[in-house]
């Protein structure tokens, strides 16, 4: 009997490896057909496990979001068959597959492995894009801010490129603070290349999100985590010393670091491209709310936004701009439900590392949702986010004694 159980656990483990490999290949957008890989994987998984899929409130909200977004998006744009899977099926399917995959595995580390697999796929794709742009397809940066997609052989927006690094960086920050020591070098490597991309592309959102994440982690460690007073004092002292070192290096322009940074596009965008300048987020959002009641069911680029902007630069507002109030409401409801589940997961899960790392990933995503049109720029980024949110829900119900084949 024990041998049979060990054999079953071995087959489960091989199945998990196969699923993780497929998820990694899909998130890397291998050969430019990552979306096709993901669609095939989702459909095959749902068909094989249809009897054991648990429908949750979150899945229902995402299904309603998918239905109404697809209806109004198709009404305002010419229908393409590929959109049927892309917008009608993938949001709720990713959530359900992520939830069932984690819930029905005896491996307690599977959620972390899934998060790392997705982040590694994003990171590898982004790194290939950086190499392609830097050495083969660089443009005159005085006139354009572009990145280059290695797989699709075409230029893409800095926002779409930045998203490929933002989530791996958030996971790396979480692993540095809460993970095992074995993750230190890989995390520093990911952060170094992500930082290089953000500086080279003048991607301010990376610094905004990462900065908030680090501050939030420090506040959590100092005031919430169960650590000794001595360790708290060491952390405070370390932060103060680091701040003084940065201040001295900046003011003294040691190794010409200040003068070099001041000459970069990133510095110019930070100092000259603030929120209230032309094209700034606040002015765009104000112009959005001046027009939103005129288009309760979305529009085909008829919204008049400040500075002639195409996007509202907000995940939920851009959903409203394209498909109207119904998918807007369901997307906000789904996000609120995700936050509630995340806090519940943090209270119930005993693992000290996976809970804060999941919190880092989700926090980085939601902060970025506030300032970027993620669903419009790259909906697959959102789909993998939903797969992880489903995994978080599944981890809350994970049981070693009840494993569904």
Q: How far apart are CA 155 and CA 144, in angstroms?
A: 11
Mind listing the pLDDT tens digit for each residue in 11-33?
Answer: 457 888 889 999 999 999 998 88
pLDDT band at 6 (very low <50, low <70, confident <90, very high): very low
Closest of 20, 10, 9, 58 to residue 386, by C-alpha: 58
Q: What average pLDDT does this structure show over 190-215?
A: 88
Q: Which of 41-45, 250-254, 367-371 has the lowest mean pLDDT?
A: 250-254
Per-residue pLDDT at 89: 92
pLDDT (0 to 100) of residue 273: 57
The answer to the question of residue 10 being in a domain is yes
SS (H, E, C) the chain: CHHHHHHHHHHHHHHHHHHHHHHHHHHCCHHHCHHHHHHHHHHHHHHHCHHHCCCCHHHHHHHHHHHHHHHHHHHHCCCCHHHHHHHHHHHHHHHHHHHHHHHCCCCCCHHHHHHHHHHHHHHHHHHHHHHHHHHCCCCCCCCCCEEEECCCCEEEEHHHHHHHHHHHHHHHHHHHHHCCHHHHHHHHHHHHHHHHHHHHHCCHHHHHHHHHHHHHHHHHHHHCCCCCHHHHHHHHHHHHHHHHHHHHHHHHCHHHHHHHHHCCHHHHHHHHCCCCCCCCHHHHHHHHHHHHHHCCCCCCCCCCCHHHCCCCCCHHHHHHHHHCHHHHHHHHHHHHHHHHHHHHHHHHCCCCCHHHHHHHHHHHHHHHHCCCCHHHHCHHHHHHHHHHHHHHHHHHCCCCCCCCC
Nearest Cα residue to 199 out of 169, 170, 162, 164: 162
Of 250-259, 287-296, 394-403, minimum mean pLDDT range: 394-403
Higher pLDDT, 302 or 367: 367
- Average pLDDT value for the chain: 83
Q: Is the confidence at residue 10, as pLDDT, over 50?
A: no
Residue range 220-234, pLDDT digits in tens: 887 776 777 777 787
**39 or 352: which carries more pLDDT confidence?**
39
Residue 18 located in a structural domain = yes
Residue 219 is assigned to a structural domain of this protein: no
Residues 64-103 pLDDT 10s:
999 999 999 988 887 778 888 889 999 999 999 999 999 8
| 197 within 8 A of 187, measured Cβ to Cβ | no
Residue 265 lies in a domain: no
Asked whether residue 267 is assigned to any structural domain, the reply reads no
Residue 56 CA neighbour count, 13 Å, CB half: 24
- pLDDT given for residue 225 in this prediction: 64
Tens-digit pLDDT profile for residues 28-75: 999 888 888 898 999 999 998 888 888 888 999 999 999 999 999 988
Over 70: is that where the pLDDT of 377 sits?
Answer: yes
Higher pLDDT, 19 or 181: 19
Residue 212 lies in a domain: no
Question: According to the model, what pLDDT value does residue 199 have?
Answer: 85
Domain count, the chain: 1
Q: Which of 162, 40, 48, 55 is nearest to 90 (CA)?
A: 40
User: 53 in a domain, yes or no?
Assistant: yes
Range of the domain at 377: 2-202+281-396
Give the range among 202-216, 217-231, 291-305 with minimum mean pLDDT: 217-231
Asked whether residue 304 carries a pLDDT value surpassing 80, the answer given is no
pLDDT digits (tens, 9 = 90+) for 258-282: 787 777 777 777 776 544 444 577 8
Residue 149 pLDDT more than 80?
A: yes
Angle at Cα 194 formed by Cα 252 and Cα 206, nearest 5°?
A: 75
Q: What pLDDT was estimated at residue 23?
A: 94
pLDDT of residue 276: 42
What is the structure's pLDDT at 123? 95
Q: What pLDDT is attached to residue 240?
A: 84
Q: What percent of the chain has pLDDT over 70?
A: 90
In this prediction, residues 187-192 reach a mean pLDDT of: 92
- Give the pLDDT of residue 399: 47
What pLDDT does residue 3 have? 45
Q: What is the pLDDT of residues 97-144, one digit of tens each?
A: 999 999 888 788 889 899 999 999 999 999 999 999 888 877 766 556
Residues 291-312: what's their mean pLDDT?
Answer: 82
**Residue 207 domain-assigned (yes or no):** no
């Amino acid at each position: 009997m024990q041998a049979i159980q060990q054999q079953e656990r071995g087959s489960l483990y091989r199945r998990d490896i196969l699923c993780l490999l497929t998820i990694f290949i899909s998130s890397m957008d291998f050969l430019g057909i990552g979306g096709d890989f993901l669609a095939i994987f989702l459909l095959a998984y749902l068909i094989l496990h249809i009897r054991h899929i648990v429908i949750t409130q979150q899945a229902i909200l995402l299904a309603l979001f998918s239905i109404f977004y697809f209806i109004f998006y198709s009404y305002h744009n010419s229908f393409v068959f590929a959109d049927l899977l892309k917008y009608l099926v993938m949001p709720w399917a990713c959530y359900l597959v992520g939830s069932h995959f984690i819930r029905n595995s005896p491996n307690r580390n599977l959620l972390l492995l899934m998060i790392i697999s997705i982040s590694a796929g994003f990171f590898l794709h982004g790194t290939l894009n950086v190499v392609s742009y830097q050495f083969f397809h660089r443009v005159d940066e005085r006139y354009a801010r572009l990145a280059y997609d290695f797989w699709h052989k075409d230029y893409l927006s800095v926002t779409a490129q930045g998203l490929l690094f933002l989530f791996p960086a958030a996971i790396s920050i979480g692993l540095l603070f809460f993970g095992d020591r074995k993750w230190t070098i890989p995390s520093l490597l990911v952060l170094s290349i992500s930082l290089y991309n953000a500086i080279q592309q003048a991607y301010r959102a990376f610094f905004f999100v990462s900065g908030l994440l680090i501050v939030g982690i420090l506040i959590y460690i100092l005031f919430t985590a169960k650590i000794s007073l001595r360790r708290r004092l060491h952390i405070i002292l370390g932060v103060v010393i680091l701040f003084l070192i940065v201040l001295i290096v900046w003011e003294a322009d040691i190794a010409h670091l200040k003068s070099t940074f001041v000459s970069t596009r990133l510095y110019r965008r930070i100092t000259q491209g603030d929120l209230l300048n032309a094209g700034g987020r606040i002015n765009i959002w104000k112009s959005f709310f001046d027009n939103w009641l005129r288009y309760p069911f979305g529009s085909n680029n008829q919204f008049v936004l400040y500075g002639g902007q195409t996007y509202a630069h907000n995940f939920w507002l851009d959903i409203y701009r394209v498909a109207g109030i119904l998918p807007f409401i369901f997307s906000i409801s789904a996000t609120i439900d995700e936050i509630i589940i995340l806090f519940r997961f943090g209270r119930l899960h005993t693992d000290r590392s996976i809970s804060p790392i999941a919190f880092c990933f989700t926090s980085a995503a939601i902060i970025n949702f506030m300032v970027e049109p993620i669903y419009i720029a790259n909906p697959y980024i959102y789909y993998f986010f939903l797969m992880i949110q489903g995994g978080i829900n599944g981890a809350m119900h994970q049981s070693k004694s009840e494993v569904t084949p």
